[in-house]
Amino acid sequence: MTLKIPRRVQLSVVLVCVLFLFGCSDGNATSQTSPVKNAENTQTSQSQGEKVGLTAIDAFIESQNIDQTKSNWKTSLPKPPQVEFESDKTYYWNLETNVGTIKIKLDPEVAPMHVTSTAYLTRLGFYDDVVFHRVIDGFMAQGGDPLGRGTGGPGYNYDGEFSPSARHDRPGLLSMANAGPGTDGSQFFITFVPTPHLDGKHTLFGEVVEGMDTVSALEKKGSRSGQTSEPLFIEKATIEVE
């Protein structure tokens, strides 16, 4: 699918930014079949915060016996069932990148499946060492492809989730890349500017609450074509519950 670039950016872009995905626009780890890195990939303010959402996700992971010794484990994962999230808890997605840290407040009320999938993949360590493969200054930073080139995904797809109140109307929004309806997966993008032309096409499921300086640092290393001036990647992703 072609992710439409705002007109002022289009004038200076040679090629239209295409969000190639397998499952969203549309893999390789340690020994045995132990699936999760829960202790290192989650931070919780209260253990009670895991009783519904994360506990349900962990139970699904344990039931699947995901073999992370396989080289392609990140691209052949089972699809998680949508889980319920506690209304009195706040879920955050923390991204430690090689240019700084970003803290994103997730929105399970508007996009429960997107938050479920993101938490599931994060608990598995899926996003660790994954690059931002396309960063367009004046537009957005896109990452989440385990292959690192814009064509990969987790091995499953799901539908978009939309709300009239969820609009791409400011910088620092977390949205899901896709190749059309029903192809959301693991690739996401963070906006640098308002992108209203994406409303109703890409699911908004979070917003940066800390680390906009890191978002700006990502933008500075991008280009009009999307190629980065140096490798940009997520060193570690964690879920935090308050």
Blockwise average pLDDT, block size 10, the chain, 242 residues: 52 40 36 41 42 90 96 98 95 99 98 99 98 99 98 98 97 98 99 98 99 99 98 99 95
Q: How far apart are CA 157 and CA 103, in angstroms?
A: 25
Among candidate residues 75, 76, 66, 2, the one with its CA nearest the CA of residue 36:
66
Q: How far apart are the C-alpha atoms of 113 and 136, rounded to whole Å?
A: 27
Can you give the residue range of the structural domain that contains 175? 7-28+37-66+73-241
Query: How far apart are alpha carbons 172 and 140 in whole angstroms?
Result: 9
Q: What pLDDT score does 52 carry? A: 84
Transcribe the chain into DSSP letters: -B-PPPHHHHTT-SS--B---TTTT-----SSS----HHHHEEES-GGGGTTHHHHHHHHHHHHT--TTSTTGGGSPPPPPP----TT--EEEEEEETTEEEEEEE-TTT-HHHHHHHHHHHHHTTTTT-B--EEETTTEEEE--TTSSSS--SS--B-----TT----SSSEEEE--SSTT-B-S-EEEESS--GGGTTTS-EEEEEEE-HHHHHHHHHT-BSSS--SS--BEEEEEEEE-
In a domain, 203, yes or no: yes
Task: Give the angle subtended at the CA of 126 by the CAs of 123 and 130, to the nearest 5°.
Answer: 135
Does some domain include residue 53? yes
137 belongs to a structural domain: yes
- The residues annotated as belonging to the active site are 134, 139, 142, 178, 189, 198, 202
Is there a domain that residue 222 lies in? yes
Asked, for residue 1, whether it belongs to a domain, the answer is: no
Task: Give the model's pLDDT for residue 21.
Answer: 39
* Residue 190, in any domain of the structure: yes
CATH number for position 139: 2.40.100.10
Tell me if the pTM is above 0.85. Answer: no
Instruction: Tell me whether residue 195 is in a domain.
Output: yes
- Cα–Cα distance list, 8 to 138, 146, 174, 193 (Å): 9, 31, 22, 12
In a domain? residue 101: yes
How many structural domains does the chain have?
Answer: 1
